[in-house]
Amino acid sequence: MIEIKDLHKSYKMGSNSLHVLKGINFKVEEGELVAIMGSSGSGKSTLLNILGMLDEADSGSYDLDGIPIKNLNETKAANYRNKFLGFIFQSFNLINYKTALENVALPLYYQKMPRKQRQEKAMKYLEQVGLKEWSHHLPSELSGGQKQRVAIARAMVAEPKVLLADELTGALDSTTSYEVMELIQNINDQGNTILVVTHEPDIAQMCKRIVHLKDGVIVKDEKIKQVRAKAHV
């Protein structure tokens, strides 16, 4: 599904150049649940941003489902993001003046789906994350865990090829984290490809594969025995 070869990325900080990714090679198959682990500054967020087409690599190649991702203009990148990728962020990034339902329906608006159809589909996904009753509440009226579920529903609603989650449990307590991870595992069980960036080992243990990143290179790439989140809830 994802194939990355010799990816390099550096940031300019004034006159200094900070080399963040120093040649990353890795491959993700369809249906995988991969954790990308590393301490802060290891380059894991940068890698995710490049995978999410929110940032561009300096060199190297990136294929998504056989489509080479390079020399994207903003419009094309927006199109790919809308169709192929779903994002889940640490800080939820819900639009605060829109209700849960409207937030979930937003990616469909950018697919030019009619309003009614949009809302039906959004409602279906809200139901899947167990928030049907909360559909008309604003984000400020929801708990952290509920907000993250809305964000997951929003990431899922466009039926993307890959879900990208950036520290999705970073702002949640451990019980809520496990609930959210259970949801992620369920979605993965349905055959969706998910990449989770985290620095929490217990969250990483709930994935099927862990990629360890340190100082911009992959130091370890291991398949693990998945810990079901359900056991902890």
Partner 1 sequence: MFDLERWQEIFDTIRKNKLRTFLTGVSVASGIFILVILLGFGQGMQNGIAREFEEDASTSVWVWPGVTSKEFKGLNPGRRIQLRNENFEYAGAIYREEIEYQSPRYFVNNVQINYGKESLAYGIQGISDNFQFIENAKMVEGRFINAQDLSNTAKVAVIGRKIKKDVFKEIDSPIGEFITVSGIPFKIIGVYGETEEREEERIYIPINTAQKVFNGADRINNMAYTLPPAENFDEAVAQAVAFKEGLRSYLQQTHTVAPDDTSAIQVWSALEEAKRYFSLTGNIKFFFWFVGICTIIAGVVGVSNIMLIVVKERTREIGIRKALGAKPWSIIGMILHEAIFITTISGFTGFIFSMGLLEILGPHVEVDYVVNPSVNFNVALAMVLVLVIAGTVAGFFPAWRAAHIHTIDALRDE
Asked if 79 interacts with partner 1 (CB under 8 A), we say yes
Asked if 117 interacts with partner 1 (CB under 8 A), we say no
**Both structure tokens of 71:** 């020399």
Asked if 74 interacts with partner 1 (CB under 8 A), we say yes
Which residues inside 182-221 make contact with partner 1, applying CB under 8 A? none
Asked if 89 interacts with partner 1 (CB under 8 A), we say yes
The secondary structure of 152-207, three-state, reads HHHHHHCCCCEEEEECCCCCCCHHHHHHHHHHHHHHHHCCCEEEEEECCHHHHHCC
Shortest approach of partner 1 to residue 78 CB, angstroms? 4
Asked if 26 interacts with partner 1 (CB under 8 A), we say no
Distance CA 52, CA 62 (A): 11
Among 110, 136, 141, 233, contact with partner 1 (rule: CB under 8 A): 110
**Both structure tokens of 3:** 């194939």
Asked if 115 interacts with partner 1 (CB under 8 A), we say yes
Report the 10 Å Cβ neighbour count for 15: 5
One symbol per residue from 153 to 172: x for binding partner 1 (CB under 8 A), - otherwise; what is it? -x---x--------------
Instruction: Give the residue with the Cβ less far from partner 1, 78 or 233.
Output: 78
Shortest approach of partner 1 to residue 202 CB, angstroms? 26
Report the 10 Å Cβ neighbour count for 148: 30
Close Cβ partners of 74 (under 8 Å, ≥ 6 residues apart)? none
Report the 10 Å Cβ neighbour count for 56: 14
Provide the binding-site residues for partner 1, judged by CB under 8 A: 49, 52, 54-55, 74-75, 78-79, 81-83, 87, 89, 93-95, 97-98, 102, 106-107, 109-112, 114-115, 154, 158
